[in-house]
């Protein structure tokens, strides 16, 4: 069965930005990645984002990124979209990663705003266009100025939307007003990239989520999305409020750290982190357990 996809939801509606499991000695755990990917699709994800920030992409090599995408594609087959993170702050490097991802079977690309070098809007336009021109895969922009230092302005989003392969945006800007205008003017499929704002972004026109907390609450997120889609806003709000402790707890520190800790508590593949990320302290782990339990997560 092919994954859900329409022009309005080109990558489905619920996607997990998946962690990259490592072995005890810090090597890539491809078997663990396949088992985790299969579990997440079984739980209700339409797609998986591989090699994003949550996948510790700053610390994995080009070869590891390609191996990981190939392994996940093999594990989930045509049951889910496999969207490869290829964004860097070097356009040529991003193009290399995009072509590698296409070669090993990815069905889409996630392209984050170039970070640290703070390009102007014209630079962003040319960067994203060059990546979209380099393969035949559909592209999701990723707007997260808190990490990149530079927002994608609404005018730039509107211009990029004219490209036939730029079809979506992952919004972690945290500005519902700008999101409202950009959704209305660009026509792009809009995905929440900020779990606390999943429901508010649906209310202004988002079609789904690229989530971190979905590692542990995919069924609840899908139920919230389905309730909103059928007009049952009260039920959607109830689910959102039930999940508030999870949204808060999973981001008390860097999200990869807490996600791997949560998966480990559940007996799922995760493994250690690569420096400069570090494991939770015992006190932080105890707090995470409290937060997850308050949101109904079974450990």
CB 128 within 8 A of CB 166: yes
Annotated catalytic, 142? Answer: yes
Annotated catalytic, 191? Answer: no
Q: CA distances (Å), 118 to each of 16, 47, 114, 143, 156, in order?
A: 28, 30, 7, 13, 15
CB 190 within 8 A of CB 207: yes
Cα gap 21→69, rounded to integer Å? 13
Q: CA distances (Å), 174 to each of 9, 144, 147, 195, 197, in order?
A: 21, 9, 12, 10, 8
Residue 57 corresponds to which tokens in the numbers above? 């992409």
Cα gap 57→55, rounded to integer Å? 5
Give the active site residue among 115, 142, 191, 260: 142
Cα gap 31→188, rounded to integer Å? 35
Give the active site residue among 65, 170, 173, 260: 170
Query: Annotated binding residue at 83?
Result: no
Nearest Cα to Cα of residue 83 among 199, 3, 163: 3
Beta bridge partners of 170: 142, 191
Query: Annotated binding residue at 210?
Result: yes
Peptide bond into 161 cis (omega under 30): no
Burial class (CB in 10 A: 0-12, 13-18, 19+), 61: exposed
What distance separates the 2 farthest-apart alpha carbons in the chain? 50
15 SS3 class = strand
Residue 225 corresponds to which tokens in the numbers above? 């999305």
Nearest Cα to Cα of residue 157 among 192, 190, 135, 115: 190
**Binding site, residues?**
54, 210
| Residues taking part in catalysis | 142, 170
**Binding site for pyruvate, residues?**
54, 210
């Amino acid at each position: 069965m092919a994954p859900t996809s329409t022009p309005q939801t080109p990558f489905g509606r619920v996607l997990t930005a998946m962690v990259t499991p490592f072995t005890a000695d810090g090597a890539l755990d491809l078997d663990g990645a396949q088992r985790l990917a299969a579990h997440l699709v079984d739980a209700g994800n339409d797609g998986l984002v591989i090699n994003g920030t949550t996948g510790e992409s700053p610390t994995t090599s080009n070869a590891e990124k390609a191996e990981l995408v190939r392994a996940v594609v093999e594990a989930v087959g045509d049951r889910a979209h496999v969207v490869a993170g290829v964004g860097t702050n070097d356009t040529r490097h991003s193009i290399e990663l995009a072509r590698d991802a296409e070669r090993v079977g990815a069905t889409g690309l996630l392209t984050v705003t170039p970070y640290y070098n703070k390009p102007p809007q014209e630079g962003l336009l040319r960067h994203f266009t060059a990546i979209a021109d380099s393969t035949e895969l559909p592209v999701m922009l990723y707007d997260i100025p808190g990490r990149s230092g530079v927002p994608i302005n609404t005018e730039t989003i509107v211009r990029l939307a004219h490209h036939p392969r730029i079809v979506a945006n992952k919004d972690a800007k945290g500005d519902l007003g700008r999101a409202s205008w950009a959704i209305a003017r660009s026509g792009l499929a809009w995905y929440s990239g900020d779990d606390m704002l999943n429901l508010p972004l649906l209310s202004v026109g988002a079609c789904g989520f690229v989530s971190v907390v979905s590692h542990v609450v995919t069924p609840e997120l899908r139920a919230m999305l389905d309730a909103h889609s059928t007009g049952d806003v009260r039920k959607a709000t109830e689910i959102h409020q039930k999940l508030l402790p999870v949204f808060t707890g999973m981001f008390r520190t860097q999200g990869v750290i807490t996600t791997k800790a949560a998966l480990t508590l559940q007996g799922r593949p995760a493994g250690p982190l690569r420096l400069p990320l570090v494991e939770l302290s015992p006190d932080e782990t105890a707090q995470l357990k409290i937060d997850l339990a308050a949101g109904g997560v079974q450990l």
